[in-house]
């Protein structure tokens, strides 16, 4: 057989039902090369589309960061200025000076952190009861819990305020935390996860002599790490973004949370967009970092039910 | 030592619906007891009541002389193997085996020794570091059995442990289960709907239907001496053939007329069985039951000396199943599909007519109303 087989179109010798080893090798190389090029170009194309879409999605955020570095005079001009011409950190400095932003961040961290922890504990315990234990009125009780999801928070905010007011709890950490220590959403989420485990797992543990609490700690929680992660990120960000309730029940700078801190930057007599945006950028950092740390868990948690089957 | 006694055990889910009714059974040490029956017959419920996973509505459960109705599952000293294995997915095989011992706060070196020993018995030593999702079905089953053995329970409860395996693996695991039973010398209570498993594994079979125990006996006994029509039809594959027949007397023999008299299909019974039949059921319609292997061709009937006892039984073959060591022919009679198990030399093809001879010694007669076996001999 000739050595030029590599350059000839594939299939040349097929009608003879024979092909030399060299020709086969060359054919393989050629096909591999083609496949590689195809695969690479596809990857590049996908990457480009992704970058483009990500840019569009992130544009407001990037613009906010850019504004935060602009001197306040520069923003209100007729030219399009996406980037600060004279970058400055003055906005950040004055934002931190005007209101005790660091204290607020600390408060928000404490409140959001404890709410998250509390919700994970209460929701996993009640979801365990709703999925593994048998008791009278289980169905009705679960329905009632689910029904609370349909009541908007605003509807109960006044009566809640009066209650905590009468209890003398206003302007404390506990008033920010205690009303949010459990959530129907979390119970539902955990229950859905627990339902994917066969009942026999629990029964087997019971025969092994394992207590309910031990079953939750040693078996359920390790198995639902992703759900817990998703739930934690979701709850934390929600708690971090709380506005109405903290505004209502806290009065002193010592107890306020970041979202209120931002609105305090927006005072009527000295309105400065750049200052506010700088404040926003400061307080976004913690919630974004939480998301970055937890995004793997969040996405796995959101989709695991659908994919695992 | 373990003696388990069930006395009038009942399970009711609502007021007048019994899932299990008046279940009486004595299980002795080292017995391999099988609960068998169609799905929904209450066999799993009974097992779960013994385990303590279901409340006992009525009756008494005694384990080793102690009334255990209100004992927590963990205090009954039983362990259970589930159909879907129920392995903890977050733990390695070692962790799974050790879990029950850890819960009981046994010293670490003792746990280690026991786990390794059990792993050796079940030949899963190489799998100890793996997680359950990296195991095949058969391996998972071994681990599940291992985590049941590891505690040295008074008895094993097994709820259809082989039904998730493919046919070949099931046959293999069946043999191993028998071996484990022999080696560990414990009592096993085993639930299955598969009558092959019941016949091959059990030392005692409990046949159930609609929450009621139909018969409790050794496998051969259940096969050869079924208590009633249901047991006769449930145990055995292909199942027993049933014909409607009229009992008459002819020359001192009992003659069973199959179908209408004009067809001339008759089977004769002689001796004690004939007398008993005539005494109880003369001129009444009964159900005649005969197993496929108790029907023969002419030459074998001559050899057995009963060729004159079957008259006019000619059937048209519907389907022929060649199984190698035997051939099974199916035919329609009295509106039902019946079968006969013959030697592989038989060359009958579908559509051909074949002459068949029943062995009268093997015939069972069931009362048309009560469906009880007239020839059933109660154990003394």
Question: A-chain residues within 8 Å CB-CB of B52?
Answer: 207
- pLDDT at B240 (0 to 100): 94
CATH architecture of B4-234: 3-Layer(aba) Sandwich (3.40)
Question: A-chain residues within 8 Å CB-CB of B104?
Answer: 209
Q: Percentage of chain B surpassing pLDDT 90? A: 58
Question: B-chain residues within 8 Å CB-CB of A206?
Answer: 53, 73-74
- pLDDT at A307 (0 to 100): 41
pLDDT-based confidence at residue B259 (cuts at 50, 70, 90):
confident
Best A208, A220, A304, A309 residue to mutate vs chain B (most B CBs within 10 Å): A208
Q: How far is CA A26 from the centre of its chain?
A: 51
- pLDDT at B201 (0 to 100): 92
Domain boundaries, chain A: 100-308
* Closest to B149 in 3D by CA, of B49, B81, B85, B203: B81
Report d(CA A103, CA A253) in Å as an integer. Answer: 8
Convert the pLDDT of each residue in B2-35 to its tens digit. Answer: 899 999 999 998 888 899 999 999 999 999 999 9
Does pLDDT of A219 surpass 50? yes
- pLDDT at B253 (0 to 100): 85
Q: Percentage of chain A surpassing pLDDT 70? A: 89
Residue of A200, A207, A222 lying closest to B78 (CB–CB)? A207
CA distance A133 to chain B (A): 11
Instruction: Name the helix (H) or strand (E) containing A253.
Output: none
Quick check: A206 and B86 CB within 8 A? no
**CA nearest A225 in B: which residue?**
B90
Are B157 and B82 a contacting pair, CB within 8 Å?
A: no
Quick check: A198 and B99 CB within 8 A? no
Across chain B, mean pLDDT equals 90
- pLDDT at A305 (0 to 100): 46
Task: Provide the sign of the torsion angle of the four alpha carbons A92, A93, A98, A100, taken in this order.
Answer: positive
Convert the pLDDT of each residue in B341-364 to its tens digit. Answer: 999 988 889 999 999 999 988 999
User: For A9-23, A72-86, A131-145, B177-191, which range has the lowest pLDDT when averaged over its residues?
Assistant: A9-23
Convert the pLDDT of each residue in B106-148 to its tens digit. Answer: 999 999 999 999 999 888 999 999 999 899 888 999 999 999 9
Is B64 exposed, middle or buried (CB count within 10 Å of its CB: 0-12, 13-18, 19+)?
middle
Residue of A201, A203, A210 lying closest to B103 (CB–CB)? A210
**CA nearest B98 in A: which residue?**
A208
Give the Å distances, CA to CA, from B77 to A117, B2, B47, B153, B187.
38, 10, 14, 5, 12
Question: B-chain residues within 8 Å CB-CB of A207?
Answer: 51-53, 73-74, 78-80
Report d(CA A107, CA B367) in Å as an integer. Answer: 84
Question: A-chain residues within 8 Å CB-CB of B53?
Answer: 203, 206-207
Does pLDDT of A276 surpass 70? yes
Quick check: A203 and B151 CB within 8 A? no
Are A275 and A71 a contacting pair, CB within 8 Å?
A: no
Residue of B80, B88, B104 lying closest to A207 (CB–CB)? B80
Across chain A, mean pLDDT equals 85
CA distance A233 to chain B (A): 23
Quick check: B74 and A208 CB within 8 A? yes
Quick check: A207 and B51 CB within 8 A? yes
CATH architecture of B241-367: Beta Barrel (2.40)
- pLDDT at B328 (0 to 100): 94
Q: Percentage of chain B surpassing pLDDT 70? A: 98
Q: Do B4-234 and B241-367 share a fold?
A: no
Convert the pLDDT of each residue in A151-202 to its tens digit. Answer: 888 888 999 999 999 999 899 999 999 999 999 999 999 999 899 888 999 9
- pLDDT at A308 (0 to 100): 39
| Complex ipTM more than 0.85, yes or no | no
Check residues A305 and A78 and name the one with the higher pLDDT.
A78
Q: Highest mean pLDDT: which of A49-58, A66-75, A91-100, B174-183?
A: A49-58
Please write down the HEC assignment for all residues of chain B.
CCCEEEEEEEEEEECCEEEEEEEEEEECCCCEEEEECCCCCCHHHHHHHHHCCCCCCEEEEEECCEECCCCCHHHHCEEEECCCCCCCCCCCHHHHHHHHHHHCCCCHHHHHHHHHHHHHHCCCHHHCCCCHHHCCHHHHHHHHHHHHHCCCCCEEEEECCCCCCCHHHHHHHHHHHHHHHHHHCCEEEEEECCHHHHHHHCCEEEEEECCEEEEEECHHHHHHCCCEHHHHHHCCCCCCEEEEEEEEEECCEEEEEECCHHHCCEEEECHHHHHHHHHHHCCCEEEEEECHHHEECHHHHHHHCCHHHEECCEEEEEEEEECCCCEEEEEEECCEEEEEEECCCCCCCCCCEEECEECHHHCEEEECCCCEECCCCCCC
Domain boundaries, chain B: 4-234, 241-367
Whether domain A100-308 has CATH 1.10.760.10: the reply is: no
Residues of B engaging A, defined by a Cβ cutoff of 8 Å? 51-53, 73-74, 78-80, 82-84, 86, 88-90, 99-100, 103-104, 147, 151
Are B295 and B339 a contacting pair, CB within 8 Å?
A: no
CA distance A209 to chain B (A): 5
**CA nearest B79 in A: which residue?**
A207
Are B245 and B257 a contacting pair, CB within 8 Å?
A: yes
Please check whether residue A213 touches B, CB under 8 A: no
Give the Å distances, CA to CA, from A283 to A95, A256, A258, A259.
11, 13, 7, 8
- pLDDT at A29 (0 to 100): 92
- pLDDT at A15 (0 to 100): 60
Quick check: B151 and A208 CB within 8 A? yes
């Amino acid at each position: 057989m000739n050595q030029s087989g590599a350059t000839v179109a594939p299939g040349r010798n097929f009608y003879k039902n024979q092909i030399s080893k060299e020709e086969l090798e060359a054919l393989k190389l050629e096909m591999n090369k083609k496949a590689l090029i195809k695969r690479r170009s596809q990857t590049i194309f996908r990457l480009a589309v992704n970058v483009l879409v990500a840019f569009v999605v992130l544009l407001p955020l990037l613009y906010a960061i850019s504004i935060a570095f602009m001197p306040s005079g520069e923003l209100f001009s007729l030219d399009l200025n996406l980037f600060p011409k004279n970058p400055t950190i003055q906005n950040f400095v004055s934002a931190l000076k005007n209101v005790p932003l660091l204290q607020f961040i600390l408060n928000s961290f404490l409140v959001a952190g404890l709410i998250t922890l509390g919700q994970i504990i209460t929701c996993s315990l009640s979801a365990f009861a709703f999925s593994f234990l048998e008791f009278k009125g289980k169905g009705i009780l679960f329905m009632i819990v689910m029904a609370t999801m349909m009541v908007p928070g605003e509807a109960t905010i006044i009566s809640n305020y009066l209650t905590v007011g009468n209890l003398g709890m206003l302007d404390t950490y506990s008033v920010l935390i205690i009303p949010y220590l459990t959530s129907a959403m979390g119970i539902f989420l955990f229950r859905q996860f627990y339902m994917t485990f066969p009942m026999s797992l629990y029964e087997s543990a019971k025969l092994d002599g394992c207590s309910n609490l031990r079953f939750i700690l040693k078996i359920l929680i390790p198995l639902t790490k992703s759900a817990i992660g998703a739930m934690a990120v979701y709850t934390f960000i929600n708690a971090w973004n709380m506005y109405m309730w903290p505004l209502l029940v806290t009065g002193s700078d010592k107890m306020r949370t970041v979202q209120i801190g931002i609105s305090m930057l927006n005072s009527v007599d000295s309105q400065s967009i750049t200052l506010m945006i700088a404040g926003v950028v400061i307080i976004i950092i913690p919630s974004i970092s939480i998301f970055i740390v937890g995004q793997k868990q969040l996405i796995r948690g959101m989709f695991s039910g659908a994919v695992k089957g | 030592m373990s003696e388990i006694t069930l006395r009038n055990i009942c399970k009711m889910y609502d007021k007048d619906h019994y899932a299990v009714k008046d279940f009486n059974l004595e299980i002795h040490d080292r017995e391999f007891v099988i609960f068998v029956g169609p799905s929904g017959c209450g066999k799993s419920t009974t097992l779960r009541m013994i385990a303590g996973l279901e409340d006992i509505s009525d009756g008494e459960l005694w384990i080793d002389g102690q009334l255990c109705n209100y004992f927590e599952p963990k205090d009954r000293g039983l362990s259970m193997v589930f159909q879907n294995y129920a392995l903890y997915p977050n733990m390695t095989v070692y962790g799974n085996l050790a879990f029950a011992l850890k819960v009981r706060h046994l010293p670490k070196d003792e746990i280690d020794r026991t786990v390794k020993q059990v792993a050796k018995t079940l030949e899963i030593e190489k799998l100890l570091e793996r997680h359950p999702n990296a195991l095949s079905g058969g391996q998972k089953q071994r681990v599940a059995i291992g985590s049941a053995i590891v505690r040295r329970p008074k008895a094993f409860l097994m709820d259809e442990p082989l039904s998730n395996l493919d046919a070949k693996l099931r046959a293999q695991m069946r043999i191993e289960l028998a071996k484990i039973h022999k080696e560990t010398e414990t009592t096993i209570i085993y639930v299955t709907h598969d009558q092959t498993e019941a016949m091959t594994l059990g030392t005692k079979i409990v046949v159930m239907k609609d929450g009621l125990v139909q018969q409790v006996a050794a496998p051969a006994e259940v096969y050869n001496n079924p208590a009633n029509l249901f047991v006769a039809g449930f145990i055995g594959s292909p199942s027993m053939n049933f014909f409607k027949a009229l009992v008459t007397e002819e020359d001192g023999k009992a003659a069973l007329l199959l179908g209408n008299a004009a067809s001339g299909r008759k089977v004769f019974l002689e001796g004690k069985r004939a007398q008993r039949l005539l005494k109880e059921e003369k001129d009444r319609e009964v159900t005649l039951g005969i197993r496929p292997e108790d029907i023969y061709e002419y030459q074998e009937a001559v050899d057995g000396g009963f060729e004159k006892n079957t008259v006019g039984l000619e059937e048209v073959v519907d389907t022929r199943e060649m199984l190698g060591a035997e051939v099974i022919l199916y035919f329609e009679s009295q509106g039902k599909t019946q079968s006969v198990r013959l030697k592989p030399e038989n060359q009958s093809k579908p559509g051909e007519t074949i002459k068949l001879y029943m062995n009268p010694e093997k015939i069972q007669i069931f009362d048309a109303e009560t469906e009880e076996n007239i020839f059933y001999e109660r154990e003394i």
